[in-house]
Amino acid sequence: MRSVQRQPARRHRWRRGQAIVEFSLVAPILFTALFGTVNGGLILFGENSCNHAAGVALIILSEEGRTATADTDAVSAIQTGMSNIPSMTIDEIDIYQLDLQNNGSFTQNTQNTNKYYINGTGNTIAWTPAARSTSNASLTNIGLTVKYHYNYTGLAHPVLNLTMTKYFRLEPRD
């Protein structure tokens, strides 16, 4: 009867080297996909946070109506709602009157526009809350614009810089 002899340990060393080479070829693709998935999730989370914060701000604008602090409370709600994302920064929040056109569409009234720059410089308040109509017969249509950017910084320099502008409307229903 013949006995089968095993190969020497050299074969295992060769397989270990092969695994290292294969991992070094696959690892960049794997880590790129992993980090891309995480950053894509952060971007979607930021979009959802912006939508939710703007919805809260529109509720505040509708509930406070002509209260003098309506705009600042709405801006504060947006800042609070989006503050939990470290790589996302709000640049500007605009609150403005929407004018209903004959064809049923809305346009921004540029004379009645309040611009709030988050860095605190250059704010323009042209439309005070006291000038808004809150009577049932002629409620004011309000528009809200949020401008923000997302910066993802890699190991040494910015890798991804997205600037986004979102528009929201508050339209009274009959």
Question: Which DSSP string do the residues of 27-77 spell out, in sequence order?
Answer: HHHHHHHHHHHHHHHHHHHHHHHHHHHHHHHHHHHHHHTT-TTHHHHHHHH
Residue 5 located in a structural domain: no
Alpha helices in 65-130 (DSSP H): 70-82
CB atoms within 10 A of CB 155: 5
Tell whether 24 is covered by a domain: yes
For residue 90, the model assigns a pLDDT of 93
Give the pLDDT of residue 155: 66
The pLDDT score that the predictor gives to residue 38 is 85
Q: Tally the domains of the chain.
A: 1
Domain extent, residue 115, equals 10-170
pLDDT number for residue 158? 67
Low-confidence ranges of the chain (pLDDT < 50): none
98-147 pLDDT, tens digit per residue, is: 998 899 888 999 999 999 998 878 899 999 999 888 776 677 889 999 99
Residue 132 DSSP label: S
Q: What pLDDT is recorded for position 87?
A: 83
Domain presence at residue 3? no
Q: Which pLDDT score is estimated for 36? A: 82
C-alpha 50 chain-centroid distance: 5
The answer to whether residue 120 sits within a structural domain is: yes
The phi and psi torsions of 59 (rounded to 5 degrees) equal -65, -40
The answer to whether position 49 is within a domain reads: yes
- pTM comes to 0.80
